[in-house]
Amino acid sequence: MRLAMSMIELVISIVVMGIVVMSLPLILTQVQNNNAFALQQEAILAAKTKIGNILTHEWDETTYAASAGRSFVLDTAGDGELNRVGTSTQRVGHVDADYRRKLFPNTTNATNIATHGTSDIDMFHNQNVTLSVAPIGEGAGALSYIFNLRLDPSIVYVSDTATYSNDPLNFTFGVNAAGGTTNIKRIAVQVRDTDANALITTLRAFTCNIGESPSLPSRPYQ
pLDDT at res. 106: 93
pLDDT at res. 73: 94
Sequence spans of domains, the chain: 9-133+145-208
pLDDT at res. 37: 67
pLDDT at res. 142: 46
pLDDT at res. 36: 61
Pick out the chain residues at pLDDT < 70: 1-7, 10, 20-21, 23-37, 116, 134-145, 216-222
pLDDT at res. 77: 93
| CB of 175 closer than 8 Å to CB of 156 | no
pLDDT at res. 139: 54
pLDDT at res. 173: 81
pLDDT at res. 222: 40
User: Tell me: the pLDDT tens digits for 158-169?
Assistant: 999 988 888 888
Reduced 3-state DSSP string for 11-57 = HHHHHHHHHHHHHHHHHHHHHHHHHHHHHHHHHHHHHHHHHHHHCCC
